[in-house]
């Protein structure tokens, strides 16, 4: 097990903060058809968005990660919606460079440490933040961000947890993203608007590249 862990840590040279600081937005991607994976990734990268979170909400997700990792070398592809310990190893085997989860459990903490997969775990309350910090995580996803209190919650969390950096996700849009990015404890935001279902179905990759260009240019307001 020790040899495996050391191998995985070497294999994943980027840490979570590196991933978060690569760009202002991490797109939350749902791939229904495997054929969409590579052209979607290429369109996002062409627009300046390199970090891609492919969620485990659909059957083709792991194979999509595998294809993107192999065929789009400029992409930093990760896995989202990690909810089970086995997901961590499956994601690594598929080529994921990081993982994102909606929450955090003791079994998931163990899986993250054993596999070495850089993890951005979801939190919603101060108690969640405390538990995650005690487990060694200081980069966290506030999820669902708007329902958890949005900008007001993030400002409140900044007082007792000055060492924690957040990626708010859930209810974040191109319109309100600059307000989140203006907060000192926010490194980036997560959003699904960069890969709308209609554009995926239509194969409108130019539309997705345009959305990516707009997102990659976002700045704090």
Which residues, 6 or more positions from 109, have their beta carbon under 8 angstroms from its beta carbon?
135
At residue 12, the pLDDT reads: 55
pLDDT single digits (tens) 33-54: 999 999 999 999 999 999 999 9
The domain spans of the chain are 2-216
What is the structure's pLDDT at 13? 73
Count the alpha carbons within 13 Å of 158 in the hemisphere toward its beta carbon.
13
How far, in Å, CA of 181 to CA of 77, rounded?
A: 22
Q: Which residues are catalytic?
A: 53, 141
Cis upstream peptide for 144 (omega within 30°): yes
Q: Please give the Cα distance from 150 to 48 (Å, whole number).
A: 26
Q: If we measure between CA atoms, which residue out of 135, 41, 59 comes closest to residue 97? A: 41
Identify the pLDDT of residue 4: 37
User: CA-CA distance, 218 to 189, in Å (whole number)?
Assistant: 10
Superfamily assignment of 2-216 in CATH? Aldolase class I (3.20.20.70)
8 pLDDT higher than 90: no
Q: What is the DSSP string of 154-194?
A: HHHHHTT-TT-EE--BSS--TTTHHHHHTSTTB--EEESTT
Q: Which two tokens stand for residue 205?
A: 């990759």
Spatial contact of 76 and 19, defined as CB atoms under 8 Å apart:
yes
**CA–CA separation, 148 vs 170, rounded Å?**
9
Q: To the nearest whole number, what is the mean pLDDT of the chain?
A: 94
Provide the 10 A C-beta neighbour count for residue 127.
Answer: 9
Q: What whole-number percentage of the chain has pLDDT above 70? A: 95
Q: What are phi and psi of 54, to 5 degrees?
A: -95, 115
pLDDT at 11: 47
Q: Is the pLDDT of residue 183 over 90?
A: yes
Q: How confident is the model at residue 7 (pLDDT cuts 50, 70, 90)?
A: very low
3-state secondary structure (DSSP) of residue 23: coil
- In terms of DSSP bridges, do strands 51-55 and 119-120 run parallel, antiparallel, or are they unpaired? unpaired
pLDDT confidence tier of residue 117, bands split at 50, 70 and 90:
very high
Q: What is the residue whose two structure tokens read 């600059």?
A: 178
Whole-number pLDDT of residue 97:
97
Please report which confidence band the pLDDT of residue 160 belongs to, taking 50, 70 and 90 as the band edges: very high
Backbone angles phi, psi at 188, to 5 degrees: -165, 175
């Amino acid at each position: 097990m020790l040899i495996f862990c050391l191998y995985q840590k070497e294999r994943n040279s980027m840490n979570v903060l590196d991933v978060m600081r690569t760009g202002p937005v991490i797109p939350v991607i749902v791939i229904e058809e495997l054929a969409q994976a590579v052209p979607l990734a290429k369109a996002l990268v062409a627009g300046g968005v390199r970090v891609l979170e492919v969620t485990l909400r659909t059957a083709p997700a792991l194979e999509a990660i595998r294809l993107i990792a192999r065929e789009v070398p400029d992409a930093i592809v990760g896995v989202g919606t990690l909810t089970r310990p086995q997901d961590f190893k499956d994601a690594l085997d598929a080529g994921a460079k990081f993982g994102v989860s909606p929450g955090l459990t003791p079994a998931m903490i163990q899986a993250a440490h054993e596999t070495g997969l850089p993890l951005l775990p979801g939190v919603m309350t101060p108690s969640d933040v405390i538990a995650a910090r005690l487990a060694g995580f200081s980069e966290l996803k506030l999820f669902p961000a708007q329902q958890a209190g949005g900008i007001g919650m993030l400002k409140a969390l900044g007082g007792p947890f000055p060492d924690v950096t957040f990626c708010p996700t859930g209810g974040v849009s191109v319109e309100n993203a600059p307000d989140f990015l203006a907060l000192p404890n926010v490194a980036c935001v997560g959003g699904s608007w960069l890969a709308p279902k209609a554009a995926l179905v239509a194969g409108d990759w130019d539309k997705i590249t345009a959305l990516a260009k707009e997102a990659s240019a976002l700045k704090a307001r």
